[in-house]
A and B are shown apart, each in its own frame.
Chain A
Amino acid sequence: MSVQTTEPTPSPAPVAAERKASGLLWMTGSYVFSVLAAFVVGAIIIVALGYDPVRAIESILTTSFSTSFGMVETLHKWVPIVLCAYAFAIPLATGKFNIGAEGQLLVGATGGVAMGILLSDLPLIVLLPMVLVAGILAGAVWAGIAAVLMVRFGVNEILSTVLLNFVSFQLIDYVASHVWPDAGAGHPATVPVGDGARLPGIGGPPPIHVGVVLALVVCVAVWLWVRRTPSGFEMRAVGANPRASLVHGLRTSRLAGLGIVVGGGIGGLAGAIEVAGVHGKMLEGMQSNFLILGIIVGLMARGSMAAIPVVAFGIAVLEVGASSMQRTAQVPVELVLIVQALILLFLLLSDVVRRRFERRVR
Chain B
Amino acid sequence: MSQSAPRLSMRGIVKEFGPVRALDRAELEVAPREIHGLLGGNGAGKTTLMNVLYGLYRADAGTIAIDGAEVVIASPKDAIDAGVGMVHQSFLQIDSYTVTENIVLGTKLPGPAWRLDLSDPREQVAELSSRFGLHVDPEAIVEDLPVGVRQRVEILKALYRGVGTLILDEPTTNLTPGEVDELFRSMRTMVDEGLSVILITHKIRETMAACDRMTVMRDGRRIATVRREETDAEALAAIMVGRDIDEGVPEAAVIATGVVEDLENVADVVESAEPLRPDPVDSGAVRIEDLRVRNDHGVEAVRGLSLSMSRGEILGVAGVAGNGQVEFAEAVAGVRQPESGRVSIRGTDLVGRPTREWLAAKVAYVPEDRDGDGVLPTMTVAENLVLGSQRSADIRRGGLIDWKAARQKAAEAIATYSIRANGPNALAGDLSGGNIQRVILARAFAHEPSLLILHNPTRGLDLRSTQFVYEQVHAATAAGCSVLLLSEDLDELVALSDRLVTIYNGEFVGEWARGAVDQVAVGQSMAGVGVER
Residues of A within 8 A of B (CB): 2-6, 8-16, 18-19, 224, 227-230, 233-234, 236-237, 240-241, 243-251, 361-362
Q: Are B227 and A2 in contact (CB-based, < 8 A)?
A: yes
Q: Are A11 and B355 in contact (CB-based, < 8 A)?
A: no
Residues 410-429 of B contacting A (Cβ, < 8 Å)? 422-423, 425-426
- Which residues of chain A are within 8 angstroms of B396 by Cβ–Cβ distance? 230
User: Nearest chain-B residue to A22 (Cβ)?
Assistant: B18
**B432 → chain A closest CB, angstroms:** 12
Q: Are A3 and B355 in contact (CB-based, < 8 A)?
A: no
Q: Are B355 and A14 in contact (CB-based, < 8 A)?
A: no
Q: Are A11 and B335 in contact (CB-based, < 8 A)?
A: no
A3-B220 in contact given A247-B367, A247-B374, A251-B354 (Cβ < 8 Å): no
- Within the assembled complex, what's the spacing in Å between the Cα atoms of A155 and B85? 46
Q: Are A233 and B390 in contact (CB-based, < 8 A)?
A: yes
A4-B375 in contact given A15-B19, A230-B401, A244-B387 (Cβ < 8 Å): no
User: Nearest chain-A residue to B235 (Cβ)?
Assistant: A3
B111 CB–A CB distance under 8 Å: no
Residues of B within 8 A of A (CB): 1, 17-21, 24, 57, 213, 218-227, 230, 239, 242, 330, 333-335, 354-359, 365, 367, 372-379, 383, 386-388, 390-391, 396, 399-401, 403, 422-423, 425-426
User: Nearest chain-A residue to B389 (Cβ)?
Assistant: A248
- Which residues of chain A are within 8 angstroms of B226 by Cβ–Cβ distance? 2-3
- Which residues of chain A are within 8 angstroms of B1 by Cβ–Cβ distance? 2
Q: Are B359 and A14 in contact (CB-based, < 8 A)?
A: no
- Which residues of chain B are within 8 angstroms of A361 by Cβ–Cβ distance? 18
A249-B358 in contact given A6-B222, A11-B24 (Cβ < 8 Å): yes
- Within the assembled complex, what's the spacing in Å between the Cα atoms of A186 and B354? 57
- Which residues of chain B are within 8 angstroms of A6 by Cβ–Cβ distance? 221-223
- Which of the listed residues B218, B221, B375, B376 has the most CB atoms from chain A within 10 Å of its own CB? B376
Other-chain contact of A243, B18, B218, B372 (Cβ < 8 Å): B372
**A140 → chain B closest CB, angstroms:** 22
Other-chain contact of B19, A14, A224, A248 (Cβ < 8 Å): A14
Q: Are B391 and A230 in contact (CB-based, < 8 A)?
A: yes
**B247 → chain A closest CB, angstroms:** 17
A-B contact pairs, 23 of them (CB 8 A): A2-B226, A2-B230, A4-B224, A5-B223, A6-B221, A12-B19, A12-B20, A14-B18, A19-B422, A229-B401, A233-B386, A234-B390, A237-B383, A240-B377, A240-B378, A241-B376, A241-B377, A247-B335, A247-B367, A249-B358, A249-B359, A250-B355, A251-B356
- Which residues of chain B are within 8 angstroms of A224 by Cβ–Cβ distance? 400
Q: Are A16 and B376 in contact (CB-based, < 8 A)?
A: no
- Which residues of chain A are within 8 angstroms of B333 by Cβ–Cβ distance? 247
Q: Are B224 and A5 in contact (CB-based, < 8 A)?
A: yes
- Within the assembled complex, what's the spacing in Å between the Cα atoms of A12 and B21? 8
Other-chain contact of A249, B222, B354, B377 (Cβ < 8 Å): B354
Given A2-B230, A228-B401, A233-B383: 9 more A-B contacts, CB < 8 Å: A10-B219, A14-B19, A229-B400, A233-B386, A234-B390, A244-B387, A245-B376, A250-B355, A251-B354
